[in-house]
């Protein structure tokens, strides 16, 4: 940036920078705090987040629908390629900055109470702050390299948090799984970044994806990917897309890389709330938003298919799960599928809108789940029961015990289903309407996508109703299993209540649109230049009405089935039940095919290593040892032998001569005589 | 007339007897006697060859000198033998082998 920025923009940049760095600062301060269970760490992290949230509100108010603010500085130069690092604030990053802060703040408050009795209270907040920092930095950086760095950091800190209770075998497995899955995505993203760099010679997001940027000037023609800075075979464009898709699929838990997300439930529930709402899974959709201009129509279709399939699959799985958090995890996958699909059908604004609304109600649902699990855990510990506190089969009738939690849960659940007067209605029906619109201009087979999406909406209605009914309605089933159970549970202190109320309110319509029934009026759309703002055709009326009426029926049906008013009409056998209950056998498939194959390969490699490489080395070593032994033998027997023989001769001679030195005078005389005689004899001949 | 050869024969016999005694006897006194015999064989030779020097009588004079010397040597040898006996309680030269290294 050669021209000096006006003061206004500069202060915005500083505010954004401070909002990003405050959690990092809190993380570093917490690292230096003495004592293992220092309660100050929670306060420090929460305070940092509070200030960051306030700053992000200011930043948001200044940058929303204003010209983008972009500042950068030379970072380093490799050869003749300068690398810039900087901050980019446009509508997309501003709203995500705000969203992450606003979600992270209630989660921090909630965590101070939720983790109160944990042994590693301070470690938890160190990780949590690091996590928030990496996500905040991810959304504001302007370079693909930095983006990749923070992308990895988000994965790494989520790894730390998922495995926070690493002494549990399952948690350790889960975080390993999440990390490995994310590594696959990271490789994809890295490939994409390198491909883009090879084509455009820059990492700068504004230059690449900005208005009139390099991407918008390039085309794919006749199998050649032509850009302003050069051309490559078109296959590289698809490689870049596949890389991005892999990255998105891993981070945002899309098929086929979604299996880490349900397992990530092993982390503390407050972390799950953060991961599912704003910090981790949002990164994938955010990346799609950042690189959106590079996709061709064909690639967008693939995105739509992947998203739609993921949404549908996850919804069917959620139908039969019994673990409270697992149901929510699959609903997250399903909703993320909606977002990716929305990106694919060109509903860019709707996708981001859904990301925002989903963040609030999903966070609310997870915090509700946290309260419920916390109380169930209490009951379990007080009565020394052997139950899984997350299993919804033991719950029921909790609405009277936890009234506030119940209320928030219902609001958030309705938002998740997408019923009118909630935020979810506004965003989800936008996606559905645009999906139908989109498929109008496509081949008949593409009809499957809106149909799949609408089916998913209904399935969502059913499983969410099942969840709410099983947890909050009917009889408290634990009492049926253990009649003498003692319990006194409540909504908890203000650290529980305030976040729940905030998020519950944010799940309602007024925050996003003054008109509860027309999604087109939502203010977020104005920021992303949506083309679907006009009610151009009949779909805009039929679809919301039709979908919601059927949803209501389904909810009533599920509610009456699961509160026990009707007998269970589903047989818990059969192919579809097992398919859903075993999560489409995807994990088993991965274990059987991929994990086993990898293990086989590594075993084979280990065998090669052990037998061939080690064998070669060992045979070399043995040869050398043999040579050494031969040399030693030669040394001992030949070299030493010669000297031994010499010394032997000397010894024998000495010993022989010694006999003459007998000390007997007469012998000496005799020998003298003998010598003289010998001399005489010798001389006389 | 006794010829020179007869003297020399006796002398050789004396010398050989003395030598034999020195080598074989187990008694220091007998060895000393053997030495005296060899000495006397030499003196006999001196006297026998003295007939060729009638003017200066060198042979006879030297014989006398040798006899005196022999007496002195014998005295010294006897003294040594006496001391050896005192120290080792024997005069068998086989047993006195401390000359050995």
pLDDT per residue as tens digits for the range A223-272: 777 777 777 888 888 888 888 888 888 888 888 888 888 888 888 888 88
- Comparing CA positions, the residue from A397, A395, A368 lying closest to residue A491 is A368
Q: Is A676 on the interface with B (CB under 8 A)?
A: no
In A, minimum Cα distance to B16 occurs at A673
- Range in A3-7, A440-444, A567-571, B70-74 the model is least confident about: A567-571
Asked if B64 reaches chain A (Cβ–Cβ under 8 Å), the answer is: no
The answer to whether A475 faces chain B, any CB pair under 8 Å, is: no
Residue with the bigger pLDDT between A370 and A568: it is A370
Mark A503-530 as b/e (b = at least 16 C-beta within 10 Å): bbebbbbeebbeebbbbbebebbebbeb
- Closest partner residue to B97 among A662, A669, A673, by Cβ? A662
Among A665, A669, A677, the strongest candidate for a mutation testing the B interface, having the largest count of B CBs within 10 A, is A665
At A623 the pLDDT is: 95
pLDDT (mean) for A43-53: 87
CB contact under 8 A, B93 and A661: no
Average pLDDT over residues A115-138: 85
Rounded to an integer, the average pLDDT of A467-488 is 75
Chain B: residue nearest A664 by CA? B97
CB contact under 8 A, B19 and A673: yes
Q: Which residue is it, tokens 């005489």?
A: A680
> So what's the pLDDT on residue A631?
94
* Contact criterion met (CB < 8 Å) for B23 and A666: yes
CA distance A117 to B41: 128
Q: pLDDT tens, A608-655? A: 988 898 899 999 999 999 999 999 999 999 999 999 999 999 999 998
Low-confidence ranges of chain B (pLDDT < 50): none
**What is the pLDDT at residue B100?**
61
Mean pLDDT (whole number) for A184-198: 88
- Chain B nearest C-alpha distance from A643 (Å): 27
Which chain A residue is nearest to residue B20, measuring alpha carbons?
A670
How far is the alpha carbon of A642 from chain B, nearest alpha carbon, in Å?
Answer: 30
Could you report the per-residue pLDDT of B34-57, keeping only the tens digit for each? 999 999 999 999 999 988 888 888
Residue A67: CB atoms within 10 A of its CB come to 9
Q: Tell me whether the omega of the peptide bond preceding residue A256 falls within 30 degrees of 0, making it cis.
A: yes
Q: Is A223 on the interface with B (CB under 8 A)?
A: no
B-chain residues near A671 (CB < 8 A): none
* Model confidence pTM above 0.80: no
Distance from CA of B73 to the nearest CA of A (A): 18
Chain B interface includes A666 (CB < 8 A) = yes
Residue A588 has pLDDT above 90, yes or no: no
Residue A530 pLDDT greater than 60, yes or no = no
State the nearest Cα–Cα gap between A647 and chain B, in angstroms. 21
Least reliable range by pLDDT among A174-183, A340-349, A485-494 = A485-494
Chain B residues within an 8 Å CB radius of A664: 93-94, 97, 99-100
Average pLDDT (A520-538) is 64
CB contact under 8 A, B97 and A661: no
Report pLDDT for A419.
Answer: 80
Residue A1, pLDDT > 50, answer: no
Judge contact between A127 and A241, C-beta under 8 A: no
Whether B35 and B22 have beta carbons less than 8 Å apart is answered as: yes
* Interface check B56 vs A, CB under 8 A: no
Which residues from chain A sit within 8 angstroms of residue B101, using beta carbons? 658, 661, 663
Mean pLDDT of the region A74-102: 85
Most confident among A347-351, A473-477, B95-99 (mean pLDDT): A347-351
According to the model, what pLDDT value does residue A520 have?
Answer: 66
Cβ-based contacts under 8 A for chains A and B = 30
Residues 11-50 of B with CB under 8 A from A: 19, 22-24, 31
Select the more confidently predicted residue: A478 or A179. Answer: A179
Residues of chain B in contact with residue A666, where contact means CB-CB under 8 angstroms, are: 22-24, 31, 93-94
Query: Model confidence over A659-682: pLDDT tens digits?
Result: 777 777 788 888 888 999 999 999
Q: Which residue of A has its CA nearest to B96?
A: A664
Distances (CA, A) of A109 to A31, A42, A238, A270, A367: 19, 8, 44, 10, 11
3-state DSSP assignment of residue A70: strand
Chain B partners of A669 at a C-beta cutoff of 8 Å?
22-23
Tens of pLDDT, residue by residue over A453-467, are 888 888 888 888 888
A399 membership: H or E segment, kind and range: none
Mark yes or no for CB contact A666/B99 under 8 Å: no
Higher pLDDT, A193 or A521: A193
Q: Where are the domains of chain B?
A: 4-88
**Start-to-end CA span in chain B (Å):** 54
pLDDT band at A537 (very low <50, low <70, confident <90, very high): low
Which pLDDT band holds residue A2 (cuts at 50, 70, 90)?
Answer: very low
Contact B93 A670 (CB under 8 A): no
Give the mean model confidence (pLDDT) for residues A2-22. 77
Query: How many helices and strands (H and E) does chain A possess?
Result: 27, 5
Residue B31 to residue A663, Cβ atoms within 8 A:
no
The yes-or-no verdict on residue A8 having pLDDT over 80 is no
Is A471:A372 a contact under the CB 8 Å cutoff?
yes
Instruction: Using a CB–CB cutoff of 8 Å, tell me whether B77 touches chain A.
Output: no
Run of H or E including A473: none
CATH of B4-88, one of 1.10.287.3510, 1.10.490.10, 3.40.50.2000, 3.40.30.10: 1.10.287.3510
Is residue A13 predicted with pLDDT exceeding 50?
Answer: yes
Ranked by mean pLDDT, the top range of A106-115, A205-214, A659-668 is A106-115
pLDDT of residue B1: 74
Give me the pLDDT at residue A356, please: 86
Query: Which chain B residues touch A673 with a CB distance below 8 Å?
Result: 19, 23
Find the closest chain B residue to A667 by CA distance: B23
Give contacts of B34 with chain A, Cβ < 8 Å: none
Q: What is the pLDDT of residue A440?
A: 78
Q: Alpha-carbon distance A672 to A103, whole Å?
A: 121
Name which of A658, A664, A669 is nearest B97 (Cβ-Cβ): A664
Q: What is the mean pLDDT of chain A?
A: 82
């Amino acid at each position: 940036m050669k021209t000096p920025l006006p003061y206004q923009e500069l202060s915005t940049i500083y505010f954004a920078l401070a909002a990003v760095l405050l959690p990092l600062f809190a993380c570093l301060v917490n690292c230096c705090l003495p004592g293992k269970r220092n309660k100050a760490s929670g306060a420090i992290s929460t305070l940092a987040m509070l200030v960051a949230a306030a700053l992000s509100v200011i930043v948001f108010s200044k940058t929303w629908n204003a010209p983008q603010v972009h500042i950068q500085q030379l970072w380093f130069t490799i050869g003749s390629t300068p690398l810039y690092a900087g901050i980019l604030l446009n509508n997309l990053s501003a709203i995500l900055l705000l969203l992450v802060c606003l979600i992270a703040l209630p989660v921090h408050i909630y965590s101070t109470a939720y983790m109160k009795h944990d042994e590693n209270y301070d470690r938890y907040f160190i990780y949590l702050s690091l996590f928030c920092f990496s996500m905040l930095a991810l959304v504001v950086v302007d370079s693909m390299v930095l983006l990749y760095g923070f992308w990895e950091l988000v994965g790494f800190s989520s790894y730390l948090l998922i495995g926070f209770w690493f002494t549990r075998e399952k948690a350790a497995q889960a975080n390993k799984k999440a990390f490995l899955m994310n590594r696959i995505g990271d490789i994809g993203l890295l490939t994409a970044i390198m491909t883009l760099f090879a084509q455009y010679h820059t990492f700068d997001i504004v230059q690449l994806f900005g208005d009139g940027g390099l991407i918008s000037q390039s085309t794919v023609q006749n199998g050649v990917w032509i850009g302003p800075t050069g051309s490559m075979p078109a296959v590289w464009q698809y490689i870049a897309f596949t890389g991005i898709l892999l990255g998105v699929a891993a981070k945002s838990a899309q098929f086929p890389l979604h299996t880490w997300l349900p397992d990530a439930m092993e982390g503390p529930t407050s972390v799950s709330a953060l991961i599912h709402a704003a910090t981790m899974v949002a990164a994938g959709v955010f990346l799609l938003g950042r690189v959106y201009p590079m996709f061709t129509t064909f690639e967008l279709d693939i995105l739509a298919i992947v998203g739609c399939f993921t949404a549908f699959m996850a919804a069917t799985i959620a139908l039969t799960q019994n673990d409270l958090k697992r149901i929510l995890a699959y609903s997250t996958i399903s909703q993320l599928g909606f977002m990716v699909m929305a990106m694919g059908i060109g509903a860019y604004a709707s996708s981001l809108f859904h990301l925002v609304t989903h963040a609030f109600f999903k966070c609310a649902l997870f915090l509700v789940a946290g309260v419920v699990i916390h109380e169930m855990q209490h009951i379990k510990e007080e009565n020394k029961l052997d139950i899984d506190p997350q299993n919804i089969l033991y719950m029921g009738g909790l609405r009277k015990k936890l009234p506030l939690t119940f209320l928030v849960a219902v609001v958030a659940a309705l938002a998740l289903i997408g019923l009118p007067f909630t935020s979810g209605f506004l965003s989800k029906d936008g996606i559905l309407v645009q999906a139908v619109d989109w498929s109008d201009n496509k081949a008949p087979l593409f009809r499957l996508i809106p149909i799949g999406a609408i089916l998913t909406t209904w399935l969502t209605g059913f499983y969410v109703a099942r969840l709410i009914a099983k947890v909050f309605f009917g009889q408290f089933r634990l009492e049926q299993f253990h009649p003498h159970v003692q319990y006194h549970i409540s909504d908890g202190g203000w650290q529980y209540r305030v976040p729940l109320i905030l998020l519950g309110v944010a799940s309602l319509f007024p925050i996003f649109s003054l008109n509860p029934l027309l999604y087109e009026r939502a203010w977020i759309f104005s920021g992303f230049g949506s083309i679907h703002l006009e009610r151009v055709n009949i779909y805009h009326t039929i679809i919301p009405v039709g979908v919601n009426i059927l949803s209501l029926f389904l909810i009533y049906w599920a509610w009456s089935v699961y509160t026990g008013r009707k007998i269970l009409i589903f047989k818990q056998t059969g192919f579809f039940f097992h398919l859903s209950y075993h999560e489409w056998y995807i994990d088993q498939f991965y274990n059987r095919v991929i994990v086993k194959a990898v293990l086989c390969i590594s075993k084979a490699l280990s065998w090669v290593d052990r037998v061939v490489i080690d064998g070669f080395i060992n045979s070399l070593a043995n040869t050398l040892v043999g040579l050494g032994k031969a040399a030693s033998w030669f040394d001992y027997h030949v070299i030493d032998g010669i000297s031994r023989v010499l010394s032997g001769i000397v010894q024998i001679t000495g010993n022989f001569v010694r006999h003459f030195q007998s000390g007997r005078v007469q012998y000496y005389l005799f020998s003298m005589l003998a010598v003289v005689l010998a001399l005489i004899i010798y001389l006389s001949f | 007339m006794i010829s020179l050869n007869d003297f020399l024969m006796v002398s050789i016999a004396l010398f050989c007897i003395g030598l034999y005694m020195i080598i074989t006897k187990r008694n220091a006194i007998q060895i000393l006697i053997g030495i005296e015999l060899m000495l006397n064989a030499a003196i006999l030779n001196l006297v026998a060859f003295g007939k060729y020097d009638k003017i200066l009588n060198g042979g006879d004079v030297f014989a006398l000198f040798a006899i005196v010397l022999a007496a002195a040597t014998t005295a010294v040898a006897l003294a040594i033998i006496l001391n050896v006996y005192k120290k080792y309680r024997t005069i068998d030269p086989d047993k006195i082998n401390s000359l050995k290294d």
